[in-house]
Each structure stands twice: as C-alpha cells, then as structure tokens.
Chain A
C-alpha cells in the first residue's frame, strides 16, 4: 500500500507518518517532509518500506536523545537529594522537639503531623522539577537568568538562616538551651546553609556536564546544537527548583511566586492561567489566615489538595510543551 502526499492519502497512513516525524529532530522532520514532497513531485510516492525506515530513524533519534540526557539526569539526582535535606531541615526547624513535644498539646500534634505531610508533599514536586529543570538550566540563553536567580535566592536563605543560627546560639549562651539542643540547632542551620551553597554548584555542574557532552558530539561540519536550546524558558521548572529555598523563608512566598510564574509561563494558555489563579488565590488567602492562627483547618487541607491537583495539571502542560513541535503537516497546504 502506498500513498501520494499530493493526492488525498488514506488518513491512517498520513496520520501515522506524521506522528513518526514528530519523533525525529525538528529540522530532520521538516527535511523529510520536503523529501516526501520531492518524491511525490517525481511521481514516486513513498511506500510502507519508507515509512518503516522512518520508524527506525525515529527510534534511533529517541534512543540518542535519551542517552544525551543521562549526564544531566545523573547530575539532577544530587539536586533531589539536597532538596530532601532542605525539607528535612525545614521540618525540623518548624517542629523542633523543644517547640512541639513540650509545649503543644497532644491534640495539636495531629495538626502538626498533617502540616508536616503537606510540607513533605512538595517532595513529589522535585523529581518532575529535576527532569524539567535541567533542560531549562542548561539552555545557553536561560542560564543567564536562572543562575543569578538561584544565587540571589541562596544568598537570602544563607543570610536568613545565619541569623537564626546566631539567635539560637545566643539562646544557648544565655542558658535557655542545653548542650544537646545546640548540636541540633547547628545541624539544622548548617544543613540549610549547605543547601544554599551547594545548589548553585550542582546546577553549574549539571550545566558543565551537559555542555561538555554535547561539545564532545559536535564536529567541525555539524556545529553542536543541543535540543534543549530550542526550549523556551519554563518558569514553572525554575520555580520548582527554587521552592525549597523559598519555603525556608516563607511558604506564602512560595505560593505567591507560583501564581506569578503561572502567568509568565509562555507554555500556558490564558485558560490555564485563569483556572490556576482561581484555585491558587483562595489557597494563598486561606493559608495566610491559617498562618496567623497557626492551625490547620479542613479548608486549608482542601485548598492544599486543590493546589496539588493544579500543580500536577500545570506540570503536565509544561512537559507537553517541551515535546518537539511539528512545524508542518504532510499533505497540508503549504505557504505561498
């Protein structure tokens, strides 16, 4: 069975071939469409053998892309590990034993546990952030923005946590804490300070590894053109990566940042932005109110669940936007 692009091809063949071409590099897909048009003009329509060979080309392209991502993925694992450490530090800072176990009644421990679960829920964000974020961070154009932003945030965290460290140390000096407590306080603060210092280093490492990998593959005849340079800036990914640092400062800052990022993300349509805002703004308002009362209400839990749903939805949209776009359609009318 063969089809002719300039005639009306069977839909199944056209759709199948079009789908295959989406899985090759965008330029190559475009070139193949030109090839198919040339063959059609010469009255030599492609046959199933050509389609099968394009399938092989698409498979090889995907394998190559996967292998190219390995160094960055490996570099992304320490990022996830560091974020987990950061969350652990945040949790311990917020619910230190001398604050909770001795002063809060047992009924509030349930609320504290729920709050801890909410905080840890952010961890679900991190693997996706690591996968998406490295593409953003390693892009040549975006590196200029992302790295300074990370450094500034890290600096803020460093200053904030250093202040807490000094304050707690002063408590110890005044005799308010015993010797065992100060070790814990030191470890919490140092953990956060380490994260603040190490995150930019890890990002730089991921960047260097990725660029070195692509540089090694380049030749004089084919300048290196990593696929990720085609990607647009993805603020959601950046926001996700900054979230641990921001959370250390204020959960509210993290929520507000998220709303802002939703609106400046080019991957999201107006509908995405409006729906996300409609859910997130009440969430922020509720969270602010709860923050004052230091309690967890069913309303807050509902809002946080909604936040998780919205975030998962937005993450899906952002990931889909990273797929190589099809620039033309076989058999479709061409530009004049």
Chain B
C-alpha cells in the first residue's frame, strides 16, 4: 500500500496556509478552527512539520519580524505546496466519496458478535 503523500497534521498545516501566511500560533488557532477544535497541534510537532515542509519546498518563510525582542516568523504556501495540497485534497475527497457510497449501499447491516 502506497504511503499517503501527507499525514493528517501536515495536510492541515497546508490547508491553514492556503488561506494566507500565518505565524506559529496563528497556525495552531487556524487548524483549531478548521477542525472544529478537534485538532490542535502541539508546539514541537508543529515546528517539526514546518521544518520538514520547508526542506521539501512546500512552505516558505514569508516574513520575519521582531516583537518585544523575540522572533515572529510567518509561513506561506509555495507553488509546490499548493499543487500537493490540491492533489491530496482530491485524493481524500475521492476516498471519502467511495466510503460514503459504500455506506449508502448497505445502510444497516450489522455483524452479530
């Protein structure tokens, strides 16, 4: 079985960035909004994912500013990131549609255990 191109968290990061550049905590908040509060990435995992996608050229540093002596860096989606997100969204939609279709065909069959 082929490995998915993006795991759930990185898919959500790209989705959040598709709306425009965001900084670290802005990403957390945006992903929370997208998922209805179900998913809020941890700080370490978020930045690890961003590092990986920076290396892969899927996201880029949009701007850096110093706020109260501390660094605030915003990230943006690159062209490659946008293409990959579109492909991944289409793939997930196709899989979800297939699941819905099969569920609709056999609505109430349950196995006795």
Contact = CB atoms under 8 A, between A and B. Distances in A.
Nearest to B45: A53
A185 interface: no
A32 B26 CA distance: 12
A225 to B, nearest CB: 12
Given A30-B71, A38-B23, A39-B28, A221 B59 contact: yes
A50 B43 CA distance: 6
A28 interface: yes
B111 to A, nearest CB: 36
Nearest to B26: A38
Nearest to B40: A44
30 contacts: A27-B71, A27-B73, A30-B70, A31-B70, A32-B24, A34-B24, A34-B67, A36-B43, A37-B68, A38-B23, A38-B25, A39-B28, A42-B25, A53-B42, A53-B43, A54-B43, A54-B44, A56-B45, A57-B44, A57-B45, A58-B44, A217-B55, A219-B54, A220-B57, A221-B59, A221-B60, A222-B54, A222-B61, A334-B69, A335-B68
Given A27-B71, A219-B57, A334-B70, A35 B25 contact: yes
A26 to B, nearest CB: 9
Interface of A: 27-28, 30-39, 42, 46, 49-50, 52-58, 60, 217, 219-222, 327-328, 334-335
A220 B78 CA distance: 11
A38 B71 contact: no
A75 B57 CA distance: 31
A328 B69 contact: yes
B48 interface: yes
B70 A328 contact: yes
Q: Sort A-B residue pairs by CB-CB distance and give the 8 closest, nearest first.
A: A53-B44, A38-B25, A53-B42, A334-B68, A57-B44, A335-B69, A221-B60, A30-B71
Contacts, number: 86
Contacts of A30: 70-71
Chain B contact patch, size range? 20 to 34
A31 B72 contact: yes
A30 B43 CA distance: 13
A56 to B, nearest CB: 5
A28 B23 contact: no
B18 interface: no
A57 B24 CA distance: 14
Contact of A221 (B28, B46, B48, B57): B57
Contacts of B72: 31, 34
A52 B44 contact: yes
Interface in B36-84: 42-48, 54-57, 59-61, 67-73, 78
Nearest to A35: B24
A57 B54 CA distance: 15
A54 B43 CA distance: 7
A58 B23 CA distance: 20
Given A42-B25, A52-B44, A219 B70 contact: no
Contacts of B73: 27, 31
